Amino acid sequence: MSLPAISKHVCVLEREGLLSRRRHGRYQICRLEPDALTLAADWLERHRTFWTGQLNALAHHLAHPPAEEDHP
């Protein structure tokens, strides 16, 4: 991965509050923000739970299709 690509990703994470950055001489020290990561993990878990349920229901429906009714 190129340095500009890394910098772009770091900027996105910083903008969203998932990490903080400070300068130390010519270095930039990045620090993960655990509180923000916890919020992100909670959000992901809610969506994972929802989509797991939806996909399980779809799998059940596909595995056990409703019986077709006779049409006159």
Burial class (CB within 10 angstroms; exposed 0-12, middle 13-18, buried 19+) of 19: middle
Spell out the domain ranges in the chain.
Answer: 1-32, 34-64
Whether the pTM exceeds 0.75: the reply is no
As given in the structure block, the two tokens for residue 5 are: 């690509």
Q: What is the pLDDT of residue 71?
A: 58
pLDDT 10s digits, 28-52: 999 999 998 898 899 999 999 999 9
